[in-house]
Structure 1
Amino acid sequence: MPSLTTPIVPHYQPAPQTQEALDYADLAIIDLREFSAGPEARAKLASQVREAMSNQGFFYVIGHGLTKEQTERMFDVADVPFAQTKYEEKEKYLSSIKQAGSYQGYKPRQFWHIDNGVLDQIETYNIHRDVNRRGHPEALRPLLPEIDQFARHSHMNVLSPILRLMAIGLELPEDTLLNMHRWEGDSETYLRFMKYHPRSAEDEQKSKNVWLKGHNDIGTITLLYSQPVSALQILTREGTWKWIKHLENAIVVNSGDAMDFLSGGLYRATIHRVVQPPPDQRQYTRLGIFYFCMADDDVKLAPLIASPVLQRLGIKRRFEKDEDAPVMAEWRKTRTAAYGQSMLSKSTEEKDVEQEIIQGVVVKHYN
C-alpha cells in the first residue's frame, strides 16, 4: 500500500459523521483476525456469519488487514477518476452497460431512472479485478499498482475468508464457495469507485428523497468500505427501513441474488436503498469504494443441495427446476443491462413495490 514512492494525489476530505439521531440497524461485527485462531474460533465465526446472513443479509467486518491510513489513501485514489479527469476523457472510457451488460469503465450521471422522471446524480468508475484488462484515464494510470494490490487484498484477505465461513455455515467443504470465485477465473468481479453528488430540491421532492430504490445486488458478495455520509438503509423483516451506521475502517458486507440462489435462500439478498443524507451532511459528496463479487461466469446459480443445513431447513428455490437456473454470466449481463433502464410494473400484492421479470425471476424494486 502507500510508500515513499506512492504518487501524490489530492486528499479527499470526507464529511464529518452525522450528529442526527438516526434509527440504525443492529448489525453483527465479524473480526477476521479470529479466522486464523483455530478450528473452534472459525466455527464460532461461521455461526455468527450464518446468523447475520440468514436474518439480515448484512454485517460488518473489522480486522481485515488494512490500517486506517491505508483505507484513507484508497479514498484519495477513488476520487481521482472523478475530480482529476475531464468530461472529454471520461467519454472515451464509458461502460458498455446496455450493449454488453458490463459496468467496466464510467457510468455517467443521469443514466439510471429513479422515479417520476428524475435521473440519478451518481458517477461510477468500475475496474475489473485484473486492472490491465482495459485502458484507464491518464490520471489513474500511475495508481494502477496500488489499485491492483487493493483489489487482491479485498479478494484474498477479505472475500476468501468470508466465503470459507459461509461454506462452513452450510456444513460444506470449506473451499466450496471459494472454488466458485477464483482470482484467476473468468468472472466480472470488480472494484467500483462511486461518487454521489447532491441533488436539487425539486428532484428530491419528485423522488421522495430516494437516490437509489430498494434493490438486491446482482452478485454473490458485496464489500463496501465504510464511509461517513449516512445514506444507506436496509429493509428489515418487519418492513421498516433502518440506517447503516459508519464504523471507522470497517467493511459492510452483504449478499446478493447469486448467493441467495446458491444458498437456497439461507443467505438473504437483503433489500437496501440509498436516500438523501441527514441535514448536516447534505452539502457533501458521498464517495464510496465497493468490491462487487461475482461467481465465475460458468457457475450455475442452483441451490447447493449437498448442504446438510439446507436438507434440514428446506430449500427456497427461485427457479422451478435447478436446470432452469442461469449461469452467473447470464444473470449478471441481463440484470446489469436492465437496471435503471427497464419499464417497471407495479406489484399487485405489495404496496410501493415495482417489479420486472428477469430470467424468469421476479425482481422487485422498493420505493
Structure 2
Amino acid sequence: MTDIASVSLSRPLADVADELGRSFSEFGFAIVRDHGIPAELIARAEEMSKAFFALPDQVKRAYKIDGGSGARGYTPFGTEKAKDAQVHDLKEFWHVGRDLPKGHPLSEFMAPNIWPAEVAGFKETFEALYAAFETAGDTILRAIALHLGLAEDFFVPTVEDGNSVMRLLHYPPLETADAEGAIRAAAHGDINTITLLLGAEEAGLELLTRQGEWLPVSPPEGALAVNIGDMLDRLTNGKLRSTTHRVVNPMGEAAHRSRYSMPFFLHFRPDYIIETLPGCIDSESGASAPAPISSHDFLMQRLREINLA
C-alpha cells in the first residue's frame, strides 16, 4: 500500500496534480503544505475559537438557531450523529457560511451569518479565514481538474457562490458518562465537494482503507488534511473516493484535555447539478452512473440522515 500523498502547493499544479489524484483515488485523503493560509491568521482563529467555547453554556446556546439545520451559529454538544449511528458525537461546533448580498438569486439557500458579541474581533478574523480557505480550495480543485483531464478552471463556476461552511470544532475532555458507547466523531463520510481541515495535528483522525483497516492521518503542524466529499465522489463515479473517517477518543493524559479543529466544507453551488463526468463513466463495464441531483437536494437529504435537518 502506498502512502497518503503530502504535497506542497508552492510547486506547479501540473507537477502535483497526479500525485494528489493518486492519493484521492486510493485513500480519499491527502496532506497539503504551503497552502497560503497565513500562520498568524490560523493562530488568531484558534485562540478565538477557544475563547468562544470557553463561554458559559447558556451564553453559547443563545446563538443556536432553531430550524436552521445547524448551518449558522452554534450547535450544542450531543446534537450531531453520524449516519446510522445510535449515539451522538462528543462535540460542539460553530458554523460560518457565505454572506450573500440582499437580493442575490441564491440567498434563499444561505442564511446570514450571526456573530458572538462576547469575543472581540471574531467576525473579522473568521471572515478572513473563510476567504483564505476558499482561495486554497480553488487551488486544490484546479489540481484535481488537471488530474481528471479537465480544463484547469473547470470547477470555478461550479463552486462560485457555493454553500461552503467553515466549522469551528470543540471536543471537550472526556467524561465517563459521555464516552460510553460514543466517540468524538463516529465513522462517516463528508457530504460536500472537498474538505480542508486545520488542526488535525492532534492524534485521533483516522481513515478506513480499502483493506478495511483504520489508518491515522497525521499532517505536520500548519498543514491541511484534505479529503474528498460525497458530492465529488458522485461527480467522478467513485474515481475520487469519499472515504469513511472518524475521530477516536484519546487515551491517557490527552483524554483530559480538549481537542480543537477547523474544517472547511467546500460546496458546489446549490443549483449545480451533480451529473457524472463523461470521462468517469466506464462504458465497458456497463456499470450505471448515479442519477443527476442538485447540490442542494443532495445536501438536504444527507443533513436529515445526520440529525441536523
Return the offset for 1:297.
0.2
What residue in structure 2 maps to residue 26 of structure 1?
A: 3
Equivalent pairs, count: 297
Return the offset for 1:104.
1.3
Question: Could you give the per-residue CA deviations for residues 272-292 of structure 1, whole angstroms, max 9, x where no partner exists?
Answer: 011101324111100111111
- Flag the 1:180–1:117 CA change in 2: closer, same or farther, 3 A: closer
Return the offset for 1:29.
0.8
TM-score normalised according to structure 1 size: 0.74
Matched, 1:279 2:246: no
TM-score normalised according to structure 2 size: 0.86
Of stretches 193-202 and 218-227 in structure 1, the one that deviates more from structure 2 is: 193-202
What residue in structure 1 maps to residue 140 of structure 2?
A: 162
8 A contact 1:53–1:255 mirrored in 2? yes
Return the offset for 1:334.
2.2
Helix, strand or coil for the counterpart of 1:144? helix
Return the offset for 1:317.
5.2
- Flag the 1:177–1:168 CA change in 2: closer, same or farther, 3 A: same
Q: Which consecutive residues of structure 2, in runs of 5 or more, have no partner in the other structure?
A: 102-111
- Aligned CA-pair RMSD: 2.7
Question: Could you give the per-residue CA deviations for residues 32-54 of structure 1, whole angstroms, max 9, x where no partner exists?
Answer: 1113xxxxxx2221111110111
8 A contact 2:41–2:129 mirrored in 1? no
- Flag the 1:124–1:318 CA change in 2: closer, same or farther, 3 A: farther
8 A contact 2:90–2:185 mirrored in 1? no
What residue in structure 2 maps to residue 111 of structure 1?
A: 79
Return the offset for 1:92.
2.8
The residue correspondences of 1:103-142 to structure 2 (distance < 5 A) are 103-113=71-81, 118-130=87-99, 133-140=112-119, 142=121
Question: Could you give the per-residue CA deviations for residues 138-172 of structure 1, whole angstroms, max 9, x where no partner exists?
Answer: 0246332221111111101x100111111111111
Letter of the structure 2 residue corresponding to residue 179 of structure 1? P
| Percent of paired sites with the same residue | 25
Tell me which structure has the larger Cα radius of gyration.
1
Matched, 1:199 2:174: yes
- Flag the 1:225–1:312 CA change in 2: closer, same or farther, 3 A: farther
Query: 1:177 pairs with 126, 131, 155, which one?
Result: 155
Measure the CA separation in 1 of the matches of 2:79 and 2:289: 29
Measure the CA separation in 2 of the matches of 1:314 and 1:163: 28
Return the offset for 1:252.
0.4
- Flag the 1:128–1:141 CA change in 2: closer, same or farther, 3 A: farther
Measure the CA separation in 1 of the matches of 2:131 and 2:139: 13
- Flag the 1:248–1:131 CA change in 2: closer, same or farther, 3 A: farther
Q: Which consecutive residues of structure 1, in runs of 5 or more, have no partner in the other structure?
A: 1-24, 36-41, 343-367
Measure the CA separation in 1 of the matches of 2:22 and 2:295: 25
Measure the CA separation in 1 of the matches of 2:302 and 2:86: 21
